[in-house]
């Protein structure tokens, strides 16, 4: 058996073990801060499709946004989403609706190969343009100075590439289940010099393993995290149980792509708190992420391999 065959066999064994042992009470939140942002936010949500192409590949975008846009003069931060390989926003509907319920306008290109990050940037610029269009419902309702990118699998890499290549347009990134370089990703997080980043992965995910084995290159979430310069605010956390596609839960695994163990539950609380902290200046949410003393460090029922340089 050659090295590639051994690696594939090991991956299959890890997948089987993850599916058999991964269930962890659906990753329901245990921390006070996590519980707050796990719950739906105060904004009712509308979902629609853009009437025109929103990116340079002529894809349309799915839009998730507060129904009462701009209520009480609030300017909504923008989140631009990257689908996993061959995916579409509807696969992440529960997760994207949840983010919008916390006051964000989410724009999700229908591009199914978002790795380069350009269509993710294009979608953000599409919304920034809508903010200046007097015929748009988003006219002067958006905070175009507070934009985050996030994505799953290939889209996780695309979201990081968007931060790298958007010339300051994007302020923070949340990559979910970022694939190891062996899967074809050429991303180098050592190139990050600005913004902030929160890596999230599941413990059963062999495509995005939490820790580095005896291999070269950036082959784990920990390796990607360690490569980010210390000058960049960074955080990582591994959910106990989930596999590569739990983020697609609606909310459980019934309508998610294989492999899924628990569903989307664990991905709702701290990722939402991250964007509330980074883009809405929520100091309560910030308390989850402080190095050593942040709430996420003590939530060992659901989270492990947590690291942070955030003060």
The number of residues making up the chain comes to 311
Cis peptide upstream of residue 251 (ω within 30 degrees of 0): yes
Residue 205 is predicted with a pLDDT of: 96
Q: Report the Cα 298 to chain-centroid distance in Å.
A: 22
End-to-end CA gap in the chain: 48
| Contact by Cβ (8 Å): 63, 51 | no
- 285-311 pLDDT, tens per residue? 999 999 999 999 999 999 999 999 999
Q: Rounded distance, CA 33 to CA 224, Å?
A: 26
Residue 303 β-bridge partners: 239
Average pLDDT, 10 consecutive residues per value, the chain (311 residues): 41 41 71 98 98 97 98 98 97 98 98 97 98 98 98 98 97 97 88 98 95 85 97 98 98 96 98 98 98 98 98 96
Q: Rounded distance, CA 159 to CA 118, Å?
A: 9
Residue written as tokens 């853009």? 50
Which whole-number Å values give the CA distances from 258 to 158, 208, 301, in the listed order? 22, 15, 24
The ranges assigned to domains in the chain are 24-308
Residue 186 is predicted with a pLDDT of: 75
Residue 2 is predicted with a pLDDT of: 41
Residues near 209 by beta carbon (within 8 Å), at least 6 away in sequence: 180, 201, 219, 220, 221
A 10 A CB-CB count for 138 gives: 21
Q: Tell me the DSSP string of the chain.
A: --HHHHHHHHHHHHHHHHHHH--SGGG---SHHHHHHHS--SS-EEEEE-SS--STT---EEEEEETTTTGGGPPEEEEEEEPPTT--GGGGHHHHHHHHTTTPEEEEE--S--TTSHHHHHHHHHHHHHTT-TTSTTTTTEEEEEEEEEEETHHHHHHHHHHHHSTTS--EEEEESPPPGGGT----GGG--SSEEEEEEETT-SSS-SS--S-SSS-SHHHHHHHS-TTS-EEEEEESS--TTGGG-SSSGGGSPSS-SS-SGGGTHHHHHHHHHHHH--HHHHTTTSTTTSHHHH-TTTEEEEEE---
Q: Rounded distance, CA 105 to CA 49, Å?
A: 13
| Contact by Cβ (8 Å): 74, 142 | no
Residue written as tokens 């229908």? 110
A 10 A CB-CB count for 45 gives: 18
Q: Rounded distance, CA 67 to CA 101, Å?
A: 9
- 178-220 pLDDT, tens per residue? 999 998 877 999 999 999 999 999 999 999 999 987 788 899 9
Residue 25 is predicted with a pLDDT of: 64
Neighbouring C-alpha atoms within 13 Å toward the C-beta of 108: 32
Q: What is the pTM of this model?
A: 0.91
Residue 237 β-bridge partners: 200
- CATH fold of the domain at 24-308: Rossmann fold (3.40.50)
């Amino acid at each position: 058996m050659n090295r590639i065959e051994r690696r594939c066999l090991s991956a299959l064994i890890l997948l089987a073990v993850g599916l058999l042992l991964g269930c962890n009470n659906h990753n329901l939140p245990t921390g006070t801060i996590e519980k707050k942002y796990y719950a739906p936010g105060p904004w009712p949500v509308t979902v629609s499709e853009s009437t025109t192409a929103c990116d340079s590949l002529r894809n349309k975008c799915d839009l998730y946004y507060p129904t009462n846009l701009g209520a009480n003069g609030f300017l909504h931060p923008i989140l631009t989403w990257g689908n996993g390989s061959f995916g579409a926003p509807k696969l992440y509907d529960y997760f994207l609706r949840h983010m919008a319920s916390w006051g964000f306008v989410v724009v999700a290109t229908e591009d199914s190969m978002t790795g380069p990050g350009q269509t993710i940037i294009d979608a953000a610029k599409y919304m920034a343009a809508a903010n200046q269009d007097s015929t748009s419902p988003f006219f002067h309702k958006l905070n175009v100075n507070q934009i985050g990118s996030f994505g799953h699998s290939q889209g996780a890499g695309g979201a990081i590439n968007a931060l790298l290549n958007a010339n300051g347009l994007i302020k923070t990134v949340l990559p979910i289940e970022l694939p190891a370089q062996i899967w074809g990703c050429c991303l180098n997080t050592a190139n990050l010099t600005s913004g902030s980043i929160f890596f999230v992965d599941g413990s059963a995910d062999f495509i995005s393993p939490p820790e580095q084995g005896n291999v070269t290159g950036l082959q784990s979430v920990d390796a990607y995290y360690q490569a980010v310069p210390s000058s960049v605010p960074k955080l990582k956390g591994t959910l106990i149980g989930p596999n590569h596609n739990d983020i697609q839960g609606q909310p459980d695994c019934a309508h998610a792509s294989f492999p899924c163990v628990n569903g989307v539950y664990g991905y709702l609380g701290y990722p939402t708190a991250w964007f509330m902290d980074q883009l809405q200046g929520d100091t309560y949410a910030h308390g989850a992420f402080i190095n050593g003393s942040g709430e996420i460090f003590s939530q060992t029922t659901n989270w492990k391999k947590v690291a942070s340089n955030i003060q």
